[in-house]
Amino acid sequence: MQAYMKSEMPYRGVTAPVRRKVCNQILRQLRLPDEQSWRDAVLDLWDNATFREERYEAVDLTGHRYYNDFQHPGLLPMYEHMIVTGAWWDFVDRFQLRFVPLNLAQLQTVPDYYCTKR
């Protein structure tokens, strides 16, 4: 997998189904109490990851059903950070599932900064 992805960040070799199963077990037992705790957990997983699977978990946490109510345009800087620092299709492609509902549901509140070319 490492050679296929041409990534410097190493893999543990955990398959996606196993990783999701373990993550869901953990999330059932440990619910984050508020948006700030959720955001801190996402960024801690993302920024301190030493293996790709840890970053996959950060992305999965952003879209977990327990935290759907936390989605709003104010999260765009967090997602931008993750996209810019991840900058690889296996991370970035998964964020479109977060952006489309975010932007369509609350398009009028998205700052102009995110609606213009840079």
Domain count across the chain: 1
Percent helix, strand and coil across the chain, each rounded to 5?
70, 0, 30
Structural domain that includes position 24: 2-114
Give the model confidence (pLDDT) of 24-63 as tens digits.
Answer: 898 888 899 999 999 999 999 999 999 988 988 898 898 8
Give the model confidence (pLDDT) of 2-30 as tens digits.
Answer: 455 556 778 888 888 998 899 889 888 88
User: In sequence order, which residues have a C-beta less than 8 Å from that of residue 98 and are 6 or more positions away?
Assistant: 62, 63, 71, 75, 79
Rg (CA), the chain: 15
Report whether pLDDT(101) > 60.
Answer: no
Interatomic CA distance for residues 35 and 28, integer angstroms: 17
The pTM is what?
0.75
CATH code, domain carrying 92: 1.25.10.90
